[in-house]
Structure 1
Amino acid sequence: MEAPFAVSAPPLTIETLSTLYPKATKAKHETERLLEHFELGLDRSISSQQRLSAVLNDFCRQSAELKNILNELIILECLNKSQQSMWIRRIDNLVADSENLSEAITKQLNYLYKTTHEEELKVNYVPNSKKPSDNIKFLIKERGILQESHNVLDHAIDQAKGIVYNIKNQNKILKSARKKALDLASRMGVSHSLLSVIERRSAIDQILVYGCIIFTLIIFFSLYTLIHLYYRTN
């Protein structure tokens, strides 16, 4: 069998440079445009980063390809001196631009990664820097604690009102009883000093009851404050 004929590549000419150079220039302008948007913060999404990297790689590849073609044309002596000088200047500028753009884009992406990583560390490890979902959970929990504390205080106040009401009724009963006792004592000859002792003991009992009410309210308010501060700090 006869060996198949090898497909030869098209010959390199100055027209090859003229065809590829505008494409490389277009890729350069697109890279510069995307980089400008990225630097200004207009679009730093993942898709924008991928698009920027792809356009940059395409531009670098085309610049390197033009450089290789130019070197081959120089070796083959397909260019005169003026053409050679012009194309060397053009393509060297493209290669330099590709290197500068690559460095600038790498710097921007590294900075973005660094700032994003630092923000993630703050969210994950700093207690006061909570995620939005954590803030919502915290507010719901705090609202529940406040509602529970409010209910406890209302219950304590209602109990205190009931105690005060009972004391007032007892005072009325005691006054009535004291009056009757005085009348009876005057008839039976019981000394007035004994009745005074009984009255003082009743007053002391009232003071103790009021003191217990105030002490209970202080305890409830203290517990409410401590619980509120605990959930604030945690």
Structure 2
Amino acid sequence: MTSIVELFPKARRLAYDLQTQIQFLEKGHASADDVGVSLDELEQQLKILDSLASQERPAQRENWRRKLKELVGDKDFLREQLDRYNNSRQRQGREAREREALLARRNAALPSGVVDAYAEEGSSLLRSQRMMGDYLQSGQAALASLVDQRHRLKGVQRRVLDIANVMGVSGSILRMSERREAVDRLLVLGGMVFITGLLYYAWARKGVGAGEPPAP
């Protein structure tokens, strides 16, 4: 006999697969009948699990019943989604049949020229809707491109700011170096002028001393 420990993971896996099936169903990639069969199988497994939980010891029984309650809630939600989908499909089919019957009555009561005009108008409306859809897609693509360009420009701006910061630091260093070189040139020039003056003074003093007559 299957134990609750073995069957519960299978039921939970089936509930997860049903969520995927309903997503495919809403996109038109699955059958409502197949989803209904899987839901019936899940309900049958939950009944068996409930019976097996009642055979567990009291402490384990409450734990399993709590888990089963969550799984039953998932099953009920999935059943609601399937019912809502089936009701929507039935309503759409009924509305389509009513439109076809109404058009058939109108076509029977109208001249062929008027019917052709209505048909042309309907074709023109469909073309306009397709064109509008194309415009919307083009607009969405353009917006996506602008957003992508904006992100790229932000990255470029950050890199430019980084380079500017580096260049600012380098410019400051260059300006300090230029000022230091100017001060050094002034010091060297001043030193040269001072030494030249000193040498000229010494030479002049020596010339004056050489022109004086010796003492008696």
What is the TM-score when the length of structure 1 is the normalising length?
Answer: 0.43
What is the TM-score when the length of structure 2 is the normalising length?
Answer: 0.47
